[in-house]
Amino acid sequence: MAVRIKRVYEAPATADGERILVDRIWPRGLSRKDASLDRWMKDVGPSTELRKWFDHRVDRWEEFQDRYQKELSCNSAVGELRGLASSQDVTLLYAAGDHEVCIR
């Protein structure tokens, strides 16, 4: 099964499979109808505490990645997401504007 990553603001495609928003906060300026998603797994996104600590500071990016990986390692929602991805095509949707950072 394929796992794709794209911005939630991009038009849906047939190849997307199940479209899953993985941000903790709902995307700005986007209605639920226009989002064209199948589910919102906000618990897969970084915790509020981690997001606030990171504060979009590039100098904290590497440590942010380490901290986020630790959060994910004990997150039960990740198991659910893996189960979905093992049985069907899924597209993980994010809202952030920096594509290069989001896909690392």
CA 104-52-68 angle, 5° bins: 35
6-10, 11-15, 32-36 — which is least confidently predicted? 32-36
Looking at the chain, which runs of residues are DSSP E strands? 3-7, 18-21, 39-40, 90-94
Confidence of residue 103 (pLDDT cuts 50, 70, 90): very low
Backbone CA torsion sign across 26, 31, 35, 41: positive
The candidate with the shortest Cα–Cα distance to 81, out of 26, 27, 32, 18, is 18
